[in-house]
Amino acid sequence: MALNLPFAVVLAACATTPAPAPASAATESIITLNADTTQIEGWFWNSYEWMIFPNSNIAGYYPFASDERMRCVSVLNDTGRDPAEFESLVRKKVRAIGYVVEFSKLEPSPNTGAFYEGKKYFKAREVLNSCLRASVFVAKSVDSAG
């Protein structure tokens, strides 16, 4: 059976044209943390710890990205406000003002067992660092970024 010529040309063009990159890869945001960082923006999540994600696709987030800037940021609440007051910001874009602390420089646990497990604390609260970054962000304020 012979192929129709226009169909064959389209088929050949499709076979040799690489597929475009997913749109999300082209628009992926990053969050850079360094000693001078005083503000970060991203999408807020509050479950077992506060986290700010680089994009709104929290459900599709991959925590083991090789580029640390593509990972979420573990955020410590130093606002002086109850965490429940921030529930309205969950899954919304926020701006956090504060400072960066290296995870390794947080206080170790006074409990011997927890010390050997590598647990770290900030103001007597355990820091989980689920985002697996070398540093965490201490938030003095968190507000909607629109």
Q: Does pLDDT of 5 surpass 70?
A: no
Our measurement of the distance from residue 106's CA atom to the centroid of its chain's CA atoms, rounded to an integer in Å, reads 20
DSSP string, 75-109: EEE-SSS-GGGGGGGTTSEEEEEEEEEEGGGSEEP
Q: State the fold for domain 29-144.
A: OB fold (Dihydrolipoamide Acetyltransferase, E2P) (2.40.50)
Spans of all domains in the chain: 29-144
Q: Does pLDDT of 11 surpass 50?
A: no
pLDDT score recorded for residue 112: 61
pLDDT score recorded for residue 89: 97
Q: Does pLDDT of 15 surpass 70?
A: no
pLDDT by residue (tens digit) across 123-133?
989 999 999 99
Alpha carbons 136 and 76: distance in angstroms, whole number: 7
pLDDT score recorded for residue 27: 47
Nearest Cα neighbor of 40 from 74, 2, 1 is 74
pLDDT by residue (tens digit) across 87-102?
999 999 999 999 999 9
pLDDT by residue (tens digit) across 29-85?
899 999 999 999 999 999 889 999 998 988 888 778 778 888 999 999 999 999 999
